[in-house]
Structure 1
Amino acid sequence: MEKCVFCEIIKGNLPAFKIYEDNYSIAILDINPRSKGMSLIIPRKHYENFSDDFELSDKCFKAAMLVANKIKKVLNPLFVAISTFPSEVKHFHFRIYPFYKEQLPLFEGNPLKMEEKELREIQLKLIEKSQEQVVKEEVMEESEKRSEEEIEWIKKYWQIV
């Protein structure tokens, strides 16, 4: 059986730019990001599909929301999307895509060329933000409104795709 790259990262056998971890999952920066700060939330337990472990998938989604909120506060994208697209790596995970005016993280697009130094800087910014605040479950209030600029950008994006 082929070794799982995500399991190897979780065990500490492969390097990663870790930005969050809890008892159920870790979050790392994608080393081939489609936009600055693109991240992966990986359950510590190996399984392939969301439906293989609903309870753990739910806990990982909550971690994904925490990381997405942290990315929004620290890197200031227009918005952040969370997805569960299939992958060559057969280990379930969430992907977090920050969207910026100048970066459309199209799934079939080419990854950004990012040096290790740039990834390390993003990692440190996100880790510092965690240390400033006690990590707690945050849920965005329904009353939060999107800015006009964000709405216009979203409309333009979906016309392109």
Structure 2
Amino acid sequence: MKDFQKILKRSKMSNATRCAACKSLRRRCPQDCVLAPYFPPENPRRFADVHKVFGASNVTKMLQELPEHFRAAAAECMSIEASTRIRDPIYGCAGLIFGLQQQIIQVQSELAKTKSEMTLHNYVQEKQNQVQEDYVVDANGEYDGGEELLWLLNSSGQQNHHINFDNQQQQDNYSHQ
């Protein structure tokens, strides 16, 4: 009689805390249920997705064939693949991965462009500082090396800061007379 009470008590407990898989399949949840650790009763949607995509018997077989230390990762992977496959029935995880790869390529391109713009800006800034330090006026009072500065300013896209040395030289010549 005591054995029957133990079995009855255990079956009541197992049915009260059935895993999401056993609830979904409307069966008793045995104590050694392979699916119970990975599909808790609090998250029935997780098992429903996996069951819809892979089938309960296939999931059970896959988990039983794996060593126990790999089962949690396998159940997590199946859950992710199933939910992604339901959202995107054609491409599933492959579509998600492709989209993320495209985002990485776009960000890498933007980063390379920004780095090249920074390099150019630093180069122009360095040359402008160098030209200011090396500002040389020859014997006639004319600036020497202005073409290089004009080229640097024009090539860096800073046309707003364009310096017209011809006008500056003409003004200098008038002021000396």
Q: TM bucket by the smaller chain? A: under 0.3
Which protein is bigger by CA-based radius of gyration?
Answer: 2
TM-score (norm 2): 0.22
TM-score (norm 1): 0.23
More helix by share: 2
More strand by share: 1
Ranked by relative contact order (alpha carbons within 8 Å, sequence separation 6 or more), the top structure is: 1
